[in-house]
């Protein structure tokens, strides 16, 4: 009796793993197709970074069409949004997470964009690209406490 239960559990686990494997492969293929499109449309643009924040999609100031096309699971989280002056226009753009950390505020930067997506950073006028220092959990906690001693 115990062997039958263990065999059924093993079959169910194997079926779940097989489903997850095929779903993961399909998702990876879609991601590769999107990356190819991003690479094909990439342009180098000079822009002045006004502000950068992580905001929910509804508060980001992106066009309604972009918000409607976003999958439901991505609408809940916060996205790295960059407000920049590109030529005479002020635009809200979405940045890649690694690029978002490197972008300096209130300085002119040459970046690679694909539509409204900032994919890379080429150079910073008047300086170099500085990687942010990695902080551990305790260092971040100390900084928060020292910045807000009343809370």
**pLDDT value at position 22?**
96
In whole angstroms, give the CA distance from residue 34 to residue 130.
29
Is the per-residue pLDDT at 13 higher than 90? yes
CB contact at 8 A, 13 and 92: no
Could you give the count of Cα atoms lying within 13 Å of 59 in the half-sphere of its Cβ?
A: 9
Q: What is the DSSP code (8-state) at residue 149?
A: T
Fold of 41-124: OB fold (Dihydrolipoamide Acetyltransferase, E2P) (2.40.50)
In whole angstroms, give the CA distance from residue 97 to residue 88.
26
Q: What is the DSSP code (8-state) at residue 127?
A: B
- Give the residue carrying structure tokens 């260092």: 139
Q: What is the pLDDT of residues 19-67, one digit of tens each?
A: 999 999 999 999 999 889 988 899 999 999 999 999 998 888 888 898 8
In whole angstroms, give the CA distance from residue 79 to residue 88.
25
Stated as kind and residue range, the H or E segment containing 36 is helix 2-40
> Which SS3 state, helix, strand or coil, does residue 108 take?
strand
Q: What is the pLDDT of residues 62-103, one digit of tens each?
A: 888 988 988 888 888 899 999 999 989 999 999 998 889 888
In whole angstroms, give the CA distance from residue 53 to residue 12.
44
In whole angstroms, give the CA distance from residue 51 to residue 90.
11
CB contact at 8 A, 133 and 140: no
The residue length of the chain stands at: 151
Domain boundaries, the chain: 1-40, 41-124
């Amino acid at each position: 009796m115990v062997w039958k239960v263990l065999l059924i559990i093993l079959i169910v686990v194997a079926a779940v793993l097989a489903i997850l494997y095929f779903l993961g492969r399909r998702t990876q293929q879609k991601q590769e197709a999107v990356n190819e499109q991003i690479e094909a449309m990439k342009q180098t643009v000079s822009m002045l970074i006004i502000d950068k924040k992580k905001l929910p999609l509804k508060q980001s100031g992106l066009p309604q069409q972009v918000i409607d096309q976003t999958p439901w699971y991505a609408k809940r989280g916060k996205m790295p949004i960059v407000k920049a002056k590109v030529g005479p226009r002020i635009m809200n753009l979405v940045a890649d997470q690694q690029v978002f950390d490197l972008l300096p505020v209130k300085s002119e930067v040459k970046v690679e964009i694909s539509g409204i997506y900032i994919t890379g950073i080429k150079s910073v006028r008047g300086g170099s690209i500085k990687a942010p220092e990695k902080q551990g959990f305790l260092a971040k906690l100390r900084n928060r406490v020292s910045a807000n001693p009343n809370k």
